[in-house]
Structure 1
Amino acid sequence: MDNPSRSAAFQIGGWLVEPSLNQLTLDERSVRVEPKVMEVLVCLAENSGRPVSKEQFMQSVWAGTVVTDDVLSRCISELRKIFGDNPRKPEFIETIRKRGYRLVQPVVVPTEPATPELHGVEVGQSSGGDNDEMIAWLDADSSSIRSPLKLLSIVWTRRSSPWVWGSGLALIGIVISSMLFANWLRPVEVAEQPPRTVPFTTFPGEELDPALDPTGERVAFSWTGAGDGFDIYVKQIGGETPLQLTTSDGDERSPSWSPDGLKIAYIASKDGLNSIQIVPALPGPIREVAAFGVRSISNIVWSPDGSKLAVSAQNEVYGAYSLYLLSVETLEIVELTHPPRYYHGDTAPSFSKDGGALAFVRGVSGQIQDIYSVPTTGGEPRRLTSDFTEVTGLAWSDNNIVFASMRGGTSSLWRISRGGGTPEWIASAGDDASVSQVSTSAGGNLLTFARQTSDVNIWRYDIGITPGSVIASTRWDSNPDISKDGSKIAFVSDQSGNYEVWTADDRGEGAVQLTTMGAPLTSMPRWSPDGNKIAFVAWQDGAADIYTVDAAGGTPQPVVESPAEDISPSWSADGRFLYFSSNRSSGYQIWRKDLTKLEEDPVQVTSIGGLAAFESEDGASVYFVRPNEPGIWKIDVESDEVSMVLDSLEPTDWGNWEITNDGIYLIRRFQGKALVTFYSFRTRRSRNIATLTNVPDDPSFSVSSDGKWLLFSRIDRSESDIVLMEENG
């Protein structure tokens, strides 16, 4: 079987593969992929029908680069998505256990067109003269590619006749001239060049929320320039100094231009209160158009006709984000979308160019999201993607939607048509960076986005001693959990390219990757009481399930599976049960699974809502937190009596608390700080034991069973600049 070269086009299973364009085409459908994904496919095609080991892939695709098997798994997963291939019944890519992968489909390499069939005369036979063969060749099918060298060879072999020789040379000149002229008229196919990107801001601090003005000549953005919060700035493309429009001591975010380019709407937050305000594009009086109180506002965007603003805001205190339409003239607000109550909700709205539709991001959580669209007149939202991964921004560009996503496992820009389909890859963020907050110009092919870099590490705090870093890398390291005997740490890291469970000793030494799930998200590892197993959550195909894995290594085993979201595992004191939260019934509730009877269904524990839970040491009570409600609650296992224990835990910190024999440790937020607080079961009093900084909201906290030390995640670096890009599409 013929094999393709590194750049030559080839076909597999009806798909045309063009490595030089990073493109696959089936019928009228074309899909752009990341370069490494294409290189993996080429490597498979070069070995069509034969297993390709992981070592071969590493040598062929990632030579000179240190990566883990997860990177290869993501590429294979992306190819299977494109081909619609089922790994259990593969028609394209087969997994060969302990050996690698094999391309099942045969590879077809297009050959050079054959010499044209002659019309009525065979080569080498003369029907009426020495020049018959030459005339027959010239009379060949005009759609074929004719070689002047072939013509010259015919003339040379018939050179015994002076007339043939002379007329042949003349004909050669005519044919070559005609071919050159025809080729000159024919459009030249040029491989698409990667989009050109240039830095727009490189200021100290963080620059976020870029918004191109309608002419594509200015960019509004938020910046921590003065160091006391975000303010709104405008900078001319090609200019040097930005113009500051707001100067309050709160935060101003998410600027959006009016269609005439004269005004900018933005979100203002101060003293815990949130509102929408409008300021002239040249400094002037500020007008408040909507107040949302303590309800958080995520994004706003102006409609193309200037009559309204689309607003993403919480539909109740601590509630999910809904989309609203705000009339700029009458200030009337209409709720447009109604996400499920326990979802993160609908964010990042963007109007289509005709104003008839809104594209937006709907998320089960902040990391499990997809793109939807909804008519601005109302109706049921239509789902456009099924990636179940983090989407960090989107914007309309003509009839396409450009979006930033972790699709494929790395932060990249993608393009999808307004009707849906397979997204087309545009460009990646680069190593250790992410793209977010996409904005496009009203006309042309210019877009802008924020390019962010951050570093989240795990720190250890021995009570009374200065904290120090114990788990550190250039990637994301969080979700720490301390084993009951205090000798081991479990945590989640994307050091390998995917979010996976890792373990280390209590000082962070000897870190080992424990899982290779290759899932969009893996989170919340929890040690069993005997330290032999770890329970964790993995999102696969849009659903969150709970697995356990031996602490010494091995294949993770699913223990709680359902089409619902099953999250937040914790062990009973004797290790027999797993408590978890699930929305399989009326919203998120706490459930309990008997691990000695895996065939039996779990039992519901709470009925007033539950997002995370811990069993007391004596097994008599279960402590839990409720979705979108502050505080920690307790339910008596025998009587089902429920009571509030604490009211000081915010809903955003639902994963940042633990219990010990003596009490409850939790994180409270105050003036940008994270206060570690201990509530004593004996005295029923609370006291602060540490003040931490830069602790993220996601589950970032664990305490040793003796209460002498704790782990917390910390954002050690966070930077953001704004980038301009010229689209090719």
Structure 2
Amino acid sequence: MNGVIYRFGEVEVDVQGRDVRLAGQRVAIEPKALDVLLLLLAEAGRVVDKRRLLSEVWADVHVTDGSLARAVTQVRRALGDDIRAPRFIETVPTRGYRFIGQLSSRPAPEPPPGAVDGAAADPPRTTDRPATSAASAVGSAVGAWRRRAWLGAVATLVLVVAIATALALRRPAAPLVAGAEDMGGLLLGAAEHAAVQLTTSRGFDADPALSPDGAQVAYSSDASGALEIMVRSRVSPGLARALTSNGGDNVDPAWSADGQWVAYHSRKYGGIWIVPAGGGPARQVAAEGSSPSWSPDGRRLVYQTAGSADVLGGTGGSPSTLAIVDLADGRVHALTRPGTPQGFHGNPVWMPGHDTIVFVSVQVPAADVWEVTPGRAPVRLGPCHATCRPFAFRKGGTTWVGAVRGAKAGELWTAPVSADGHVEVSRARRTAMPRTASITDIAVSRDGSTLAFSNAERTSEAWSLELPGGAARAGLTPRVLLAERRPRYSELSFSPDGSRLAYTTSRLGDRPEPWIHDLSTGQSHPLPSPVAGFVRGWLPDGRHVVMVDPAAPFGLQSVDVTTGLAKPLATFEAWRREPDAARRLFTMRLTPDGRRFLFTTEAAGRAGLWLGALDRVGEATPLAADASFGAWSSDGTRVTVQRMRGWRSGVGIMRPGDAAMTALVEDADLAWPNDWSPDDRFIVYAAMRGGRWTLEAVEVGSRRVTTLTSPGGPTEYVRWPVWSPRGDRVVYERGYWTGNVWVASLSAATEATGHPGT
């Protein structure tokens, strides 16, 4: 018998072959981490002391407990295990680790004579028995593997030299690079086990950018009451140094390749600015735009043409392309065009050592990552999330790109870049992130020596503004309606009689789910239905909520709020292959009678509002160009829209069938209308002015604007205002961001984890 094959869950481990498979697919695990797993399997059910693990797995080198912790983390990640609710590997505090899974084992088959892959002729029989009976077999297998290692190394070396010599005669030499799965593991391993908290703010310190050598970190901080760019030394943090102090709500810092300049975006004053890294006066180099990134030669900046609706960047659903400004003469050149690719283009990153730029094209709530080289057509790299922010760096002579995909708990996407500057998509890898991780953005120094990230968290509540007399008035004091702090309270919707409020909420790492709040009792509860997803409104009977279920993303469902029973309301099969299908459903709004609907789509880079009917879903017609996110008046005869003005937006109204649109609000940076008063006299909307969000209402007849809430702080926002059918209140989401910056040495992480990194 050659050894033992273990099975637990969907995992099979061939001890002798050192092969791990999950659901039949081979899983890559580093040798040391695999040795840890084998020892835990051999002692299944028993606590394996840390000292034993360190002495047996790292017998030939002195390492710390951190190396063991990183190995266990890699095993957990590879097996899909969760440290909070472990199925396989349990941490025993202060002692060690224990394998707790249901384990079975069988003898490994003997290879038939002359077999290369060791496949058995007959399927082996599986027997359930205590795994500890195989401890000696595993021990001998690990020991035998070590004893044979040097002999195998000699033979392998001879073979490698022969092959390398032959290949050298046929083609130019190319540098060897680590697999992308190793790079993802290295970055996450450093974030999980080697990171040190750089800032300790109770407010917002986030959006880090590293100097080229990784010695200094620039980030955005609200410590002064406005967002300013601060700089700290990574080696000896000490006090932070204010690089800006103009109250400009400055974000998106980016270091030049020579470390002499920092570029940033001002949410208050607008555009792209640069400031000497050592301090000094700042100057504006582009009147519009945000999210700057330097060219490798330091002579140009690429940026998105839209300003930022969010302190963590992105287009925020605003039309945007990419542009390049030449710092010598100030000339601006378009890099991408509207509609090529589809979506709004943002968060560009210029690759070190290449003339290629990686960016995100957003069609809220979805997005894709693309690459583009000046003068060439963009190339799609893969899916992402509307808030993902790519990063790029060089390590071991190779350029790497990456992005955190998914909101909060998601995955880290990494890929190497070829010598001619193109992302090698075939070698891209996805590394699962722990669900407890709160990594919102990642930065790596250009030389690949240092990692920085922020753990920014969004917290929100539902607030209520009482309206005596049912009219919009300034100076009123809002109060908290739903005080449990959650990541979002979105898609707020009153029942037709105003007695209940439906909304979408979630917890970190969990799926969005619908809830109902009873305004008479003050009680809230989840909708008693297995349907999860986003609330799209109520049906006229007041008994059914309309839902978009992510599990069935091309249709609407009607859910009884009392029984939880769900039934299909409409399907949109014709949309299934459309690139913006998610956006269409995400922006859908039903008329008060539940018969017609509005949705937003895109053509040639321009957002447009379309009109359809539930009994003829395949016959939608265009309603307005350069408009999005429509909301019906209470009588169903008019629509208020987000009227686009470049990347900015205002409030407009129109009647279906009438091409004319009346502009009501045009002086805000962003104005996002969401509801009408029950008498259709007012429209309530979230407005951003000078980087600060507030709640406003515009009177339709006079176009008079009333500020309903005071402007929030630089990291606060308001969303989803809805006016009660009773006219007595407006309910809205109020949220804010907090966070801190962390740093880690990738060189130290490479030595501790054994990742090659080069």
TM-score by length of 1: 0.69
Q: Which amino acid aligns with 1:355?
A: H
Q: For residues 555 and 336 of structure 1, do their structure 2 counterparts lie closer, same or farther at Cα, with a shift above 3 Å needed? A: same
Distance 1:281 1:516 in 2: 54
Matches within 5 A, 1:471-490: 472-490=484-502
What is the percent sequence identity of the aligned residues?
18
Q: Is contact 1:622-1:634 (8 Å) kept?
A: yes
Instruction: Give CA-to-partner distance per residue, 1:338-386, whole Å, 9 cap, x none.
Output: 2429976222222223223111222113x422211112x3211111112
Q: Is contact 1:693-1:714 (8 Å) kept?
A: no
Distance 1:455 1:539 in 2: 23
Q: Is contact 1:589-1:611 (8 Å) kept?
A: yes
TM-aligned CA deviation for residue 449 of structure 1: 1.7
Of structures 1 and 2, the one scoring higher in RCO (CA 8 A, sep 6+) is 2
Q: Does 1:233 align with 2:238?
A: no
Q: Which amino acid aligns with 1:291?
A: A
SS in 2 for 1:247: coil
Q: Which amino acid aligns with 2:361?
A: R
SS in 2 for 1:356: coil
Distance 1:234 1:569 in 2: 45
Q: Does 1:509 align with 2:523?
A: yes
Distance 2:146 2:654 in 1: 91
Q: Given the alignment, which residue of 266, 284, 298 partners 1:306?
A: 298
Q: Is contact 2:384-2:405 (8 Å) kept?
A: no
Matches within 5 A, 1:93-492: 112=108, 114=110, 182=151, 194-195=189-190, 196-270=194-268, 272-277=269-274, 279-288=275-284, 290-292=285-287, 295=288, 297-314=289-306, 320-340=319-339, 345-365=344-364, 367-375=365-373, 377-387=374-384, 390-397=387-394, 398-406=398-406, 410-417=409-416, 418-421=423-426, 423-426=428-431, 428=433, 431=436, 433-436=438-441, 438-463=442-467, 466-470=478-482, 472-492=484-504
Distance 2:362 2:25 in 1: 33
Cross-structure match for 2:510:
497
TM-aligned CA deviation for residue 110 of structure 1: 8.9
Distance 1:177 1:413 in 2: 33
Q: For residues 379 and 469 of structure 1, do their structure 2 counterparts lie closer, same or farther at Cα, with a shift above 3 Å needed? A: same
SS in 1 for 2:336: coil
SS in 2 for 1:391: coil
Distance 2:704 2:665 in 1: 12
Q: Does 1:714 align with 2:734?
A: yes
Q: Is contact 1:385-1:421 (8 Å) kept?
A: no
Instruction: Give CA-to-partner distance per residue, 1:501-526, whole Å, 9 cap, x none.
Output: 333323662321467677xxx54521
Q: Is contact 2:303-2:323 (8 Å) kept?
A: yes
Distance 1:177 1:429 in 2: 32
Distance 2:704 2:215 in 1: 59
Q: Does 1:654 align with 2:686?
A: no
Q: Is contact 1:435-1:449 (8 Å) kept?
A: yes
SS in 2 for 1:227: coil
Structure 2 alignment gaps of length 5 or more: 14-18, 35-71, 92-102, 115-136, 157-181, 309-314, 417-422, 468-475, 750-754
Distance 2:360 2:401 in 1: 12
Q: For residues 280 and 549 of structure 1, do their structure 2 counterparts lie closer, same or farther at Cα, with a shift above 3 Å needed? A: same
TM-score by length of 2: 0.67
SS in 1 for 2:383: coil
TM-aligned CA deviation for residue 328 of structure 1: 2.5
Distance 1:186 1:203 in 2: 56
Cross-structure match for 2:561:
551
Q: Is contact 1:236-1:242 (8 Å) kept?
A: no
TM-aligned CA deviation for residue 322 of structure 1: 2.0
Matches within 5 A, 1:657-672: 657-667=675-685, 668-669=687-688, 672=692
Cross-structure match for 1:535:
546
Instruction: Give CA-to-partner distance per residue, 1:264-287, whole Å, 9 cap, x none.
Output: 2333454x432322x322223444
Q: Does 1:580 align with 2:599?
A: yes
Larger Rg: 1
Q: Given the alignment, which residue of 3, 7, 21 partners 1:4?
A: 7
TM-aligned CA deviation for residue 291 of structure 1: 3.0
Distance 1:148 1:697 in 2: 58
Q: Is contact 2:628-2:642 (8 Å) kept?
A: yes
Q: Is contact 2:463-2:479 (8 Å) kept?
A: yes
Cross-structure match for 1:124:
none
Structure 1 alignment gaps of length 5 or more: 24-31, 43-56, 65-106, 119-145, 151-174
Q: Does 1:525 align with 2:536?
A: yes
Distance 1:530 1:320 in 2: 38
Distance 2:307 2:251 in 1: 19
Q: For residues 252 and 709 of structure 1, do their structure 2 counterparts lie closer, same or farther at Cα, with a shift above 3 Å needed? A: closer
Distance 2:306 2:267 in 1: 14
Q: Is contact 2:538-2:546 (8 Å) kept?
A: yes
Q: Is contact 2:81-2:89 (8 Å) kept?
A: no
TM-aligned CA deviation for residue 710 of structure 1: 1.9
Instruction: Give CA-to-partner distance per residue, 1:649-702, whole Å, 9 cap, x none.
Output: 857432433342242231344563514325265x77554555474696674211
Q: Is contact 2:718-2:732 (8 Å) kept?
A: no
Q: For residues 572 and 285 of structure 1, do their structure 2 counterparts lie closer, same or farther at Cα, with a shift above 3 Å needed? A: closer
Distance 1:443 1:274 in 2: 28
Q: Does 1:568 align with 2:587?
A: yes
Total equivalences in the alignment: 593
SS in 1 for 2:196: strand
Distance 1:420 1:2 in 2: 34
Shifted more, 191-200 versus 491-500: the winner is 191-200
Q: Given the alignment, which residue of 701, 705, 715 partners 2:721?
A: 701
Distance 2:112 2:593 in 1: 81
TM-aligned CA deviation for residue 429 of structure 1: 6.8
- RMSD in angstroms over aligned alpha carbons? 4.6
Distance 1:177 1:607 in 2: 71
Shifted more, 322-331 versus 531-540: the winner is 531-540
Instruction: Give CA-to-partner distance per residue, 1:288-323, whole Å, 9 cap, x none.
Output: 4x231xx3x221122222222222223999962222
Q: Is contact 2:651-2:673 (8 Å) kept?
A: no
Distance 1:698 1:560 in 2: 32
Q: For residues 515 and 63 of structure 1, do their structure 2 counterparts lie closer, same or farther at Cα, with a shift above 3 Å needed? A: farther
Q: Is contact 2:229-2:250 (8 Å) kept?
A: yes
Q: Which amino acid aligns with 1:263?
A: W
Q: For residues 587 and 234 of structure 1, do their structure 2 counterparts lie closer, same or farther at Cα, with a shift above 3 Å needed? A: same
Q: For residues 252 and 13 of structure 1, do their structure 2 counterparts lie closer, same or farther at Cα, with a shift above 3 Å needed? A: closer
TM-aligned CA deviation for residue 704 of structure 1: 0.3
Q: Is contact 2:547-2:556 (8 Å) kept?
A: yes
Instruction: Give CA-to-partner distance per residue, 1:366-422, whole Å, 9 cap, x none.
Output: x422211112x3211111112455413422343321222217x71453323322147
Q: Which amino acid aligns with 2:460?
A: V
